[in-house]
Structure 1
């Protein structure tokens, strides 16, 4: 797999994946690339069967930034049969379902720290569609 992140994060990751690091057993399967999801040219191009995994990344950003990030990933995926896996919380679309308080706490933290937020399933579907993805 490929790990794409900013230079300081990649340097820390290299230490963790080093022969004497805690994750050394899988180090030979990881390629570490310095880049930004705001720079489409730095996102590795997909091949059939590849997956882009984004875990707790998109809730840090406002809607316009999320759309730009997703459009850049979509561009990198090109015509390959690749999958986008997003690991985020989803707030219910309505008030009839009890939501664990931690989800609302995270939503408030994202707003306060990053001007981001948690999104509903409908919001995810709309944003993903605008970027050229389908929510399944």
Structure 2
């Protein structure tokens, strides 16, 4: 565990040099890759051997290196983990994690100490980080969207509002699975504009309306279901309650609130992979944003404060949390 950060640093270097893309066309030697990337041959070979030891690339008998299933997930032309590697391994995220102790001692985010602003305010002045963050959210949604529509039946809703829906991948997947439904994609104006090509490419633009705004101010009316994926966990209870109350102000009596966030266990009695992932994600929310992952009891309290009754909460086999509520 102590050396886990070294693996992240190695992955970041490889992805920054586009090694996974270069290996996609066939095996290459360290010298070939050095010429293609401008890197020094011996240090690059040592990086590649470390990555081979972790299954990211494979070293052949002739000394050349070749792709693996893991390296394919790090290519820039696939919706895998490249964006997440660049964000978590890059200097913006990396330096804030170095101030974790500050967060534990003060309750303030390490991100704000290091960068002088909370994450979402910081991204407004750093277009490169903003674009990377949006890419990471889209990549994650591409991986989960199919699972969401398999796990929850949206066919009974007439209009589905995706609150903080980013570039529209989840909503377009939902609308493809529920062909009679219409959708409203709601996010900040500059984010919504980037969704137009996705919505059009996926063939649901005739059934989907794009609305720009802030979910802290108001939420579009007219939905039967209000969806929030990876939104509520970004915010503390006060801010999360504001979002829920704004939805409560417009949702009809028979409407449904659907929150897709992890549901943490009430007590940590196991150290399985999903539990480790969930609790580390909670630390990430603590260090880098003002939010948190929540237990079912914490979701219930939050829903009550926002004007909703929690009707069900569960995790899928991949740790996707589905928390459903109805207007109280």
The two structures have a TM-score, normalised by structure 1, of 0.86
1:90 alignment counterpart = 263
1:44 maps to 2:217: no
Q: Return the offset for 1:96.
A: 3.2
Size of the aligned set, in residue pairs, is 127
Residues in 2 aligned to 1:55 and 1:116: alpha-carbon distance in whole angstroms: 14
CA distance in 2, matches of 1:95, 1:113: 23
Q: 2:287 matched to 1:105?
A: no
The answer to whether the 8 Å contact 1:46/1:80 transfers is no
Q: Find out whether 1:68 has 2:246 as its counterpart.
A: no
- State the secondary structure of the residue aligned to 1:10: helix
Hey, what does 1:58 align to over in structure 2? 232
The answer to whether residue 310 in structure 2 is matched with residue 132 in structure 1 is: no
Give the ranges of 4+ consecutive aligned residues of structure 1 lying more than 3 Å apart after TM superposition: 96-99
Instruction: Classify the secondary structure of the residue corresponding to 1:17.
Output: helix
The answer on 1:11 being equivalent to 2:193 is yes
Q: Which has the larger radius of gyration?
A: 2
Per-residue CA distance 1:54-81 (angstroms, 9 max, x = gap): 001010001100011111110111x442
Alignment check: 8 A CA contact 1:17 1:27 kept: yes
Residue in structure 1 matched with residue 46 of structure 2 by the alignment:
none
Match of 2:297 among 117, 122, 136: 122
Q: CA deviation at 1:97?
A: 5.2
Unaligned runs of 5+ in 2: 1-182, 312-328
Q: Which has the higher contact order (CA 8 A, sep 6+)?
A: 1
Return closer, same or farther for 1:97/1:133 CA change in 2, 3 Å cut-off.
Answer: farther
CA RMSD of aligned residues (A): 1.5
Q: 2: CA distance between counterparts of 1:28 and 1:112?
A: 41
Give, in angstroms, the shift of residue 30 of structure 1: 0.7
Q: Measure the CA separation in 1 of the matches of 2:190 and 2:285.
A: 22
